[in-house]
Amino acid sequence: MPDPNDNPLQTMARAFARLEQLLDKLPLDVGSDLRARLVLLRTLMLEKRPPALVLVGRRGAGKSSVVNALFGAKVAELGHVTAQTGRGRWFEYERDGGRMAVLDTRGLQEGSTPAEEVDAKSAIESLAAQLRLRAPDLVVFVAKASEVDAATDGDLDGLERVYDELRRAHRVEPPLLAVVTHCDLLEPKAVRLHEASGEPPDDVAEKLAHVEAAEHALASKIDARASLQARHVATLGVSSYMSWRADGKVRADDRWRVQDLAVALFRHLPDAGRAELARATQARQVQDELATTLTKATAAVCAGVAAAPIPVADIIPLTLLQTGLVASIAWIGGRSLDRRGSTEFLAGLGANVGVAFVLRHAVRSLLKIMAPGGGTVLSAAIAFSGTMAVGAAARGYFVDGLSLRDARKIFRREKRDDPTPPDDPTP
């Protein structure tokens, strides 16, 4: 008997390993499709690691605030008056088990006094050493909305240096995401973007036009440099302002479009960095997207298993894969990873014996009355829609915060298109 508290991802890993061995025995086209899905699932959940970001931008641009805003917690020190970020080095920030590795840089631009000049030189050298340590997944350029026209040239020189170093050290050129911070301070200053529904629409429109102008100004500065333009994937205006009391409680949360920023990071990250980002940011849209990806891939694998000769379905019970799916979605949603939670959730849906049982039952009874090909197609369809339904319900419950009752409704609705269940008493 497996320990009910063991890590369901380990169970999933064992199931994957067995599946991969069996793939050779499947028809070639089915086998290669399944293999691709398994690689995706494996990379997303079993090989997950903290995404690694390099933040480039002058002192006070809001680099630390962007990190805090993404986590929704004070994980990085803010520099209100002087430079807080010392010699740039990699930090691993964590919130409830979701981690991000961040290299917060500073002093990339030339100083204006000889003392600052020396300081800037050594800052560049120490930064280069850090860049050699680890290849980032993304480079994030941070600039204040009020400074996008003014003095970004020195900062963009620094940005180019970062890419030079990455090319030299790792032969990589990660995507470049530009973030315009302090958008909340653009004119009309008093209009709150994060509570725009309570503000006069014309004022909001005016402010949004200023945000767009700032984004455009920064984007064109970046794109004027061919080497940066080639890697530049998006420019996004945000407010990352949050403030904390001495006791750690949130005093103000004026964040605006930070979820969009999380989505932009997510889209440009390699698969292995995505689950940690989803857990660290708890950004609903990111969690939803990842849960959907996991669900589709798992459903395809389940369908493939069901379509395979019956012994495969018996060896790899679909519930095992579905438990792994539920556990993965629960983890992304911020829950702990234990098998009991996932099993109980499946039981709560009324799906615990569910698909695997129905599947085998269906295959056995259908094979008697149908051509083998027909039975295979039907059981694959059941496995597919059953797993899609499990994933949709798990997403509703663990990510969107629905009640178990509502999750069950989703489960039933998604399964509704199933063919007649095999135990249907009607002839």
Ligand X SMILES: Nc1nc2c(ncn2[C@@H]2O[C@H](COP(=O)(O)OP(=O)(O)O)[C@@H](O)[C@H]2O)c(=O)[nH]1
User: Which residue, judged by CB position, is nearest to Mg ion in the bound state?
Assistant: 64
CB of 59 to ligand X, least distance (A): 5
Span of 78-86, 167-175, 193-201, 342-350 interacting with Mg ion by CB under 5 A? 78-86
Locate 391 and state its tokens: 């994933």
Q: How many residues bind Mg ion (CB under 5 A)?
A: 3
Among 303, 300, 284, 403, smallest CA distance to 348 is for 403
Counting contacts by CB under 6 A, is residue 64 touching ligand X?
yes
Q: How far is the CB of 233 from Mg ion (least distance, A)?
A: 23
DSSP labels, 225-292: SHHHHTTEEEEEE-B--EEE-TTS-EEEE--BSHHHHHHHHHHHS-GGGHHHHHHHH--HHHHHHHHH
User: In this structure, are residues 8 and 294 in contact, taking their beta carbons and an 8 Å threshold?
Assistant: no
Q: State the minimum distance, in angstroms, from the CB of residue 215 to ligand X.
A: 14
For residue 62, state whether it binds ligand X (rule: CB under 6 A).
Answer: yes
Q: Any contact of residue 181 with ligand X (CB under 6 A)?
A: yes
* Selected binder of ligand X within 27, 28, 80, 426 (CB under 6 A): 80
Task: Assess contact for 368 and 404: CB atoms under 8 A.
Answer: no
* Dihedral sign of CA atoms 277, 280, 286, 291 in order: positive
| Span interacting with ligand X, options 27-35, 161-169, 186-194, 236-244, rule CB under 6 A | 236-244
Strand partners, 55: 104, 140
Residue with token string 């060896």? 315
Contact 16, 42 (CB under 8 A): yes
Among 20, 39, 46, 79, binds ligand X (CB under 6 A): 79
Closest approach, Cβ 334 to ligand X, in A, equals: 25
The answer to whether residue 240 forms part of the interface with ligand X (CB under 6 A) is yes
**What's the distance, Cα to Cα, between the start and end of the chain in Å?**
39
Among 61, 211, 318, 329, binds ligand X (CB under 6 A): 61
Near ligand X by CB under 6 A, which window of 133-141, 170-178, 181-189, 416-424?
181-189
Binding-site size, ligand X (CB under 6 A) = 19
Identify the residue among 68, 85, 328, 379 touching Mg ion (CB under 5 A). Answer: 85
Give the C-alpha separation, 407 to 398, whole Å.
9
- Binding footprint of ligand X on the chain (CB under 6 A): 57, 59-65, 78-80, 85, 181-182, 184-185, 239-241
